[in-house]
């Protein structure tokens, strides 16, 4: 997969479809990699006349590592001390703009999941002239009164850093059981296989901490979301334990004319059984942009 310079760093990406088609950027979540957007999912989107671009966020996958910026003091960040915060979601939104520059795309449809949804929202707020349409999945506004996680999900998110490959894979699979979709069950074998593939491609626990700090230190986006004028759809799992569905409802309420799709049985993942609904919602939303 190629790498390009973007916003002063390098990002690893992969594109599907034709260069002449409108760009659609897929933004991954916390600690996730571009491979968390399955190839078949990307190909199905590209079949609708879209140039689908998946990439690794900074500090994840094979994109730039920012280990020189140190490890944030997350407890201090939660108390309001941002002195150890390496970057904010706004910086990650500028990464998206830089990626588009490198690929020669002036505007794009932007789709983000979880933290990626937060970045997509921030991109829409900060770079309105470059937005064709917005899709926010399993995400929230930054208002701490909505989108709260369950205690079990918080415990899984705060799992100690693994000290071996096997421990990392087992821990990732265990977390996916907590975050996954009860209405779209996945076998333990598949969870372990996915976890192994991701670990062997890249394991960047320090980068994940910096991304968490970026989320915690970034401001509430609610007021900025009021100014989004382009087509927008918000997709959320009704059974999401990590970002409660109230986060999705608040996001849709904040964006003028946004559509809300709540999927029963869906948790904090992209279950294959829900792909038809998710893809149809994304494609229908892009069509409203008229580009």
Q: Does residue 181 lie within any of the structural domains?
A: no
Q: Does residue 36 lie within any of the structural domains?
A: yes
Q: Does residue 266 lie within any of the structural domains?
A: yes
Partnered with residue 14 across adjacent β-strands are 54
Q: Does residue 75 lie within any of the structural domains?
A: yes
Domains: count for the chain: 1
For residue 234, what is the domain's CATH number? 3.40.50.1820
Range of the domain at 272: 3-148+207-287
- Write down the pLDDT at residue 230: 93
Q: Does residue 52 lie within any of the structural domains?
A: yes
How far, in Å, are 2, 30, 73 from residue 212 at the CA level? 26, 7, 11
Q: For residue range 14-43, list pLDDT tens digits in order.
A: 999 999 999 999 999 999 999 999 999 999
Of 5, 38, 29, 2, whose CA–CA distance to 271 is shortest?
Answer: 38
Q: Does residue 172 lie within any of the structural domains?
A: no
- Write down the pLDDT at residue 268: 98
Q: Give the helix/strand (H/E) hosting 276.
A: helix 275-287
Q: Does residue 160 lie within any of the structural domains?
A: no
pTM higher than 0.85, yes or no? yes
- Write down the pLDDT at residue 290: 78
- Write down the pLDDT at residue 291: 54
Cα 32-5-98 angle, rounded to 5 deg: 75
- Write down the pLDDT at residue 1: 74
Give the residue ranges of the chain where pLDDT is below 70: 291
Q: Does residue 174 lie within any of the structural domains?
A: no
């Amino acid at each position: 997969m190629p790498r390009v310079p973007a916003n002063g760093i390098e990002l690893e990406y992969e594109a599907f479809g034709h260069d002449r088609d409108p760009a659609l950027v897929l933004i991954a979540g916390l600690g996730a990699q571009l491979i968390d957007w399955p190839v078949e999912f990307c190909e199905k989107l590209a079949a609708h006349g879209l140039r689908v671009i998946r990439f690794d966020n900074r500090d994840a996958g094979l994109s730039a590592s920012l280990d020189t910026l140190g490890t944030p003091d997350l407890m201090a960040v939660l108390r309001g001390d941002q002195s150890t915060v390496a970057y904010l979601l706004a910086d990650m939104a500028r990464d998206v703009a830089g990626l588009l520059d490198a690929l020669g795309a002036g505007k794009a449809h932007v789709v983000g999941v979880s933290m990626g949804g937060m970045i997509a929202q921030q991109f829409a707020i900060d770079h309105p002239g470059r937005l064709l349409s917005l899709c926010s999945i399993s995400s929230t506004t930054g208002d701490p009164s909505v989108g709260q996680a369950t205690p079990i999900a918080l415990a899984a998110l705060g799992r100690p850093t693994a000290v071996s490959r096997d421990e990392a894979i087992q821990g990732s699979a265990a977390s996916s059981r907590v975050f996954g979709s009860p209405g779209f069950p996945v076998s333990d074998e598949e969870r372990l296989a996915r976890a192994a593939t991701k670990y062997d491609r890249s394991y960047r626990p320090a980068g994940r901490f910096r991304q968490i700090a970026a989320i915690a230190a970034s401001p509430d986006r609610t007021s900025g979301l009021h100014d989004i004028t382009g087509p927008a759809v918000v997709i959320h799992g009704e059974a999401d334990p990590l970002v409660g569905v109230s986060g999705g409802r608040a996001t849709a309420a904040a964006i003028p004319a946004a559509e809300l799709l709540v999927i029963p049985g869906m948790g904090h993942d992209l279950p294959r059984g829900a792909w038809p609904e998710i893809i149809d919602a994304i494609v229908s939303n892009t069509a409203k942009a008229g580009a």
